[in-house]
Amino acid sequence: MTVVIGGILSFTSQVLGPAQKKSIELDTKQSILGAVMTLEKGDDALAIYSKRIKSMVVDIDGNLIEKNKKGNLIVAEDVNILKNYKKPADKREYPVYEYINETNPDEIEAYIFPLYGAGLWNAIYGYVALEKDLNTIKGVSFGHVQETPGLGARIDSKEIQDRYRGKTIFDENGNLVSVNMLKGEIKDPSKFGPHEVDGMSGATLTAKGLNSMVKDYLTCYDSFIKKNQHQ
């Protein structure tokens, strides 16, 4: 019986494995694109990604990494953000995604950076896209594993994510300050500065985790950003 069950599980894994891998690839690329554009129903996300996204991997000093210690090519899309998150910041591999102009492949419209952190109950993650000035947020795409429905789970909603558009991550002196989600929710955009967004009622701890995630990862990309800001 054990042998039979083992055989069935092995066969099922072989059959479903490619489909699962394709589903994960699609979900990841949709999330990356979601930081810079709104995908409509019926859009071929994989085709759009292939045309509009170029990727690379850098170290914490902003230097390009092309091969790992074994001499194998490093592909940004294959970097496991969770495994990297568990490493010291200076030992991680940092994917960078360039959003390319639709008609001019030499023009970069935005840079997209992956994020990973801890919410109230479990992991939170996402992407932040910066305009070509590498200061102004073009958009964000957040997700979560187990935040509270109707409260912290709202981080994956368009309503919350749209609050980040147009915010800036550097102050007037060129210091990285990130963007901070405030405590509470008043729904009045005029009340917030260039580095602040409205909070989420009843989700203070999720907001704190979100703030830490965004600031921590932007700090890790700081060297790359400053090297490319004035090119």
Q: How confident is the model at residue 16 (pLDDT cuts 50, 70, 90)?
A: low
pLDDT in tens, 30-84: 999 999 999 888 889 999 999 999 999 999 999 999 988 788 899 999 999 999 9
Asked if residue 13 has pLDDT above 50, the reply is: no
Domain spans of the chain?
Answer: 2-228
pLDDT in tens, 81-116: 999 999 999 999 999 999 999 999 999 999 999 999
Residue 134, phi-psi category: left (phi > 0), alpha (psi -120 to 50), beta (remainder): left
Distance between CA atoms of 212 and 124, rounded to whole angstroms?
11
Q: Are 118 and 207 in contact (CB under 8 A)?
A: no
The average pLDDT across 208-224 equals: 97
Count CA within 13 A, CB hemisphere, residue 74: 21
Take residue 182 and report the two structure tokens written for it.
């405030």
Closest to 55 in 3D by CA, of 127, 103, 123, 138: 127
User: Which amino acid makes up residue 96?
Assistant: V
Distance between CA atoms of 51 and 126, rounded to whole angstroms?
21
Cβ-proximal residues to 140 (8 Å cutoff; 6+ apart), any chain = 35, 126, 127, 128, 129, 161, 164
Strands 53-58 and 94-100 turn out to be antiparallel
Which residue is associated with the tokens 């019986």? 1
Q: Are 127 and 31 in contact (CB under 8 A)?
A: yes
